[in-house]
Structure 1
Amino acid sequence: MSTDSRFVIVGGGLAAAKIAENLRAGDFTGALTLIAAEDHLPYERPPLSKEHLLGKQALADFTVQPAQWYSDHDVAVMLGTTVAGIDRASKTVALPDGSTLPYDKLALATGSRPRRLPLAGADAQGVYHLRTIEDSDALIELFDSARRLAVIGAGWIGLEVTAAARAANVEVTILETASVPLRAALGPEMGQVFADLHRAHGVDLRCGVRVTEIVTDQGRATGVRLDDDTVFEADAVLVAVGARPNTDLAADAGLAVEGGVLVDESLATSDPDIVAVGDIADQQHPVLGRRIRVEHWATALNQPTVAAQTMLGTPAVYDRVPYFFTDQYDLGMEYTGYVGPDQETTLVVRGDTAAREFVAFWLDSRDRVLAGMNVNVWDVTDRIKQLIRTGDPVDRRRLADTSTTL
């Protein structure tokens, strides 16, 4: 790669920082610019609802690289800067001040944003979302003063924030449309495990309900109203109903976008000079044999290795099996694999769900393992990955038998 080549990275999270690291580690000596919308150097996001929210980590602990690293590796960083557009014909990105920045290769790592509710009161004071360090800090301050918190949505963020709020002795009511938490991700039986967990820690969990309004008084949220007119009073409301990938920049540039930015096995978009990674990347996965888009830390951590190789012209394929984790109260969980919303599965459990020490497996119609979730059982993720990658049918009875090794 020529020393006068110009590479640009758009994004301010873990994936963006890791692309910069991998490019320099791959001996790229050309101009390298990272453009981040936030005013902070790229940082990891899981601590925002976990360790940081619990007061166990400061921002510096999960900032990917300190400022000195970017200086030492000749990476120009533009903070607080939102790219206005991409001109693929001239191979430039437009900046807010009207200037443009040329590129030979471009990486998009624009992440996602919280979904907003189209409800009365959704923009009131005291309504919170969680995506940035400022959002997490605001919740920490809230926990010091609030007595009651209403959480709309029982997904991963809603449940993790609830666990942190209960650790701060805040009363929490969760309002969820599905019959159990995480039903779409884990199904009813495993969703019930998390329902029981939170209720055991004093959470008022209401499932199968529909929120119609965030109640306000003088512009401030004071509770949540359901479609049956029931009102749950609260000092604040957290809206945690999922995230939307930030694909507008890619779509406006004419890249192929269908929910996420479509990328191939090498993470190249429909424009071979542009790669996309992380939350926005809808990848054709070589092991799973389908397109997947995964909004989790491990994807942002690992995809940049392949994306950097693709930018450098080195053949590479991203074939890691998806992985994510959560920590709530005394429950630690790792999930490996992928089950699509269109896939019929059979659940096999080995261990004790009541004691919350077990491994759950999702099998397809041919008894092949699609995904595994270990709860308070450790050092098994590599074996779960092997079961998924081989694609061989398993014996359900032996899989459930804890005396049989994985």
Structure 2
Amino acid sequence: MRRVVVVGAGHAGFHTAFFLRSKGWTDEIVLIDTDSRVPYQRPPLSKEFLWGKQELEDGVFRPDTYYLDEQIELISGHQVTAIERPAKQLILEGHAPISYDHLVLATGSVARKLSLPGGDLDGVHNLATAGDAAALRSGLASAQNVVVIGGGFIGLESAAMAASAGKRVVVFEAANRLMARAISQPMSEYFEKVHRAAGIDLRIAAGVNAVEGIDGRVRSVVGSDATQVDADLVVVGIGADANEEFAAKSGLATDRGILVDEFLKTTDPNISAIGDCARFPLFAADGSSELVRLESVQNATDQARFVAHQIMENTADPYRAVPWFWTEQFGRKLQIAGLVTGYNRTELESTGPDNFSIHCYHDETLLGTESVNAPRDHMRARKELTARLKQEVNATVIRFRS
């Protein structure tokens, strides 16, 4: 009887267990998570849950009876502290050690805290767990002045929700444009206009020096230009780091993520790493690759499916996938296929001011497509990029035609 142990019960971890069992794995599966709740989805926390359209229990992957019915041993509320690799055993806080035949690390990422004076005041919120989301939703109900630090997906989704609820919202973004790590400049400019039109005070290329409070409670935020902004509540969305600490202490190779090969295996062949915690080789159609760490549901789910298949079949085919992401702000659903980093020109395909796609190229090679309220364009781009990736030939000219 073989045992697969999965550490982390987010999208990557849950789906590893799910795919193993649904595809016919009859041996043992153990799923371990630090959160004491039944495994749940994270993306709705900054979307449907904050809007009040969904409760925490609506976001669980499966009810607790599922784990009993499928004979998946769920160990909740316990932290893995070490991997004893020679013995193939995990050490947990408050729980007996767990042995494994194959170990899957799906430990996710850790939201960066605000390392500034006042960053620990009551009313300063990160948004990573169900507990974070519940506290933020409760605080937003009574807040009038909301400051968001960080103009990425989570920060802007939170800002959009707060502004739509009638709050006064100020966003500080240190970079020179919104969502700069993920999208093109033209798309950043579009969303800047959307947020400004909704009344949000965007302060771009502007840092924060301190958070100030009274009696332990946040009252204002001081910008890098010494401007003071009233704040009843602060949302911190300044990125996340791979949860790699105990993997590194256990001797696995790490570098801004747990390093894995094209089969998603770590430097220990008995251990895989997937999802937000893993840096893996992302391949282009010409066979070139770069090490990347992606934070997306699609990446987590695709890698979980691949690793489950590898454990069962040990196939020789390496992992290949086209990344895609999405965010929704003020009724504009942005879907991204591919990675647009490194583009040097763009082409616009539009059917209206809020229904369009931006195709991002490096010379004549399509890198990715960003679509606003244009799902057909998005699916077409994913199909094109996937077909090109499977061919693994030198990319020539890819054009979109109506």
- State the Cα distance separating 1:280 from its structure 2 match: 1.0
- Residue 295 of structure 2 is matched in structure 1 by 295
Mapped partners of 1:148, 1:225: distance in 2: 14
- Residue 76 of structure 2 is matched in structure 1 by 79
- Residue 391 of structure 2 is matched in structure 1 by none
- Residue 393 of structure 1 is matched in structure 2 by 396
Q: Secondary structure at the match of 1:229?
A: coil
C-alpha RMSD of the superposition: 1.7
Q: Does 1:364 align with 2:367?
A: no
Match of 1:10 among 7, 18, 22: 7
Q: Secondary structure at the match of 1:84?
A: strand
Match of 2:243 among 242, 246, 256: 246
- State the Cα distance separating 1:98 from its structure 2 match: 6.3
Mapped partners of 1:392, 1:351: distance in 2: 25
- State the Cα distance separating 1:394 from its structure 2 match: 3.0
- State the Cα distance separating 1:9 from its structure 2 match: 0.7
Q: Does 1:325 align with 2:326?
A: yes
Q: Secondary structure at the match of 2:80?
A: coil
- One-letter code aligned to 1:128: H
With the length of structure 2 as denominator, give the TM-score of the two structures: 0.93
Q: Secondary structure at the match of 1:394?
A: coil
- Residue 209 of structure 1 is matched in structure 2 by 206
Match of 2:223 among 222, 226, 232: 226
Q: Does 1:307 align with 2:307?
A: yes
Count of matched residue positions in the alignment of Structure 1 and Structure 2: 392
- State the Cα distance separating 1:37 from its structure 2 match: 0.4
Mapped partners of 1:140, 1:330: distance in 2: 20
Q: Deviations over 1:177-215 (max 9, x none)?
A: 122211232233221111111111111111111211011
Mapped partners of 2:112, 2:141: distance in 1: 26
- Residue 348 of structure 2 is matched in structure 1 by 349
Mapped partners of 1:373, 1:187: distance in 2: 8
Mapped partners of 1:194, 1:271: distance in 2: 43
Asked whether the equivalents of residues 11 and 41 of structure 2 are also in contact (C-alpha less than 8 Å), the reply is yes
Mapped partners of 2:66, 2:95: distance in 1: 29
- One-letter code aligned to 1:179: N
Q: Does 1:104 align with 2:107?
A: no
Asked whether the equivalents of residues 212 and 225 of structure 1 are also in contact (C-alpha less than 8 Å), the reply is yes
| Pairing 1:105-184 to 2, within 5 Å after superposition | 105-184=102-181
Gaps of 5+ in 1: none
Asked whether the equivalents of residues 273 and 311 of structure 1 are also in contact (C-alpha less than 8 Å), the reply is no
Q: Deviations over 1:266-323 (max 9, x none)?
A: 2111111111111011111234622221101111222111111222342143212001
The sequence identity of aligned pairs, in percent, is 34
Asked whether the equivalents of residues 268 and 310 of structure 1 are also in contact (C-alpha less than 8 Å), the reply is no
- One-letter code aligned to 2:327: T
Q: Which moved more, 1:378-387 or 1:331-340?
A: 378-387
Q: Secondary structure at the match of 2:298?
A: helix
| Pairing 1:255-294 to 2, within 5 Å after superposition | 255-287=252-284, 289-294=289-294
Q: Deviations over 1:82-123 (max 9, x none)?
A: 101101111000011363111110010001111112210001
Gaps of 5+ in 2: 389-393
- Residue 337 of structure 1 is matched in structure 2 by 338
Asked whether the equivalents of residues 177 and 185 of structure 2 are also in contact (C-alpha less than 8 Å), the reply is yes
Asked whether the equivalents of residues 37 and 80 of structure 1 are also in contact (C-alpha less than 8 Å), the reply is yes
- One-letter code aligned to 1:325: W
Q: Secondary structure at the match of 1:228?
A: coil
Mapped partners of 1:41, 1:335: distance in 2: 30
- State the Cα distance separating 1:352 from its structure 2 match: 6.2
- One-letter code aligned to 1:8: V
Mapped partners of 2:139, 2:243: distance in 1: 28
Mapped partners of 1:113, 1:308: distance in 2: 25
- One-letter code aligned to 1:363: Y
- One-letter code aligned to 1:307: V
Asked whether the equivalents of residues 140 and 233 of structure 2 are also in contact (C-alpha less than 8 Å), the reply is no
Asked whether the equivalents of residues 152 and 240 of structure 1 are also in contact (C-alpha less than 8 Å), the reply is yes
